[in-house]
Structure 1
Amino acid sequence: MARAATTTDAFNAVAEPRRRQILDLLMAGERPVGELAELLGLAQPQVSKHLRVLREVDLVRVRDEGRQRLYRVHAAPLQPLHAWLSRYEQAWNDRFDAMEDVLDDLASDSRPHAPLSGGRPDDQHTTEGES
């Protein structure tokens, strides 16, 4: 089966780690491609290719400011991805809750228990002057 083009939807676009890094950087605000390239340690043409893919699925918007093009995140196309992942989030939360219950049980089993008779006989003696 042929692989879908990376520009068909947000799922495919964010499958590439560098594109996720770009989105992470753009979450802080608008940035020009040169700044993105510098922060990522990539050549500007590589970053531009990733930005093109992100623009084609509408995850990134661009605006001109003088001679510069500033890129920013447009998060709305991530909604289907979020909806899909949220089903798994509940499963993970259930597993973490179950693990927490097991850890609580283990912790309570390992705590020292108070003696039933009020202590060992040698703990009940008093020294002179104590009452």
Structure 2
Amino acid sequence: MIILTDKPSIELTKWIDLKDGLRLQVGSINHDDYRSVNSAIHRHIDRLDAKMKVGTAEFDPEDMEISKAPDEMLTSIAARYLIRGWEGVGELNSKGEAVAVEYTPERGAMLLNQKPELYWQVLHAAALVGREESENVADTVKKH
């Protein structure tokens, strides 16, 4: 049986070279799960802002009841759905030696929380991959 789908069969990714020998493999920002969870997080943030009256004279930061900061939620989904792999990331072993580690979404979130500037670079690269992916689909449709 052939299952028809409008999703591309091969996911487009791009390696980006960053600082200190770090390379990240980034997928498309159009990833369905990323878009869905990202929208849910933004709706949640909007509801929290309204509930706490952010942007008004009545807002009091001491009244905030947040178990996980919005930034951590956003970096977590970027690590889970946008970053596909890495090179140049390590941890210290029991002897204090730096050893390379395999990519996992949990480690990816740790990296993005440790180096927040990388989050924006990942989003930018993912947007470029998404645009290229859309252009490839459009070109394929034109050929048929």
Please indicate, yes or no, whether the TM-score normalized by the shorter chain is above 0.5: no
Which of the two has higher C-alpha Rg?
Answer: 1
Bigger relative contact order, structure 1 or 2 (CA pairs below 8 A, ≥6 apart): 2
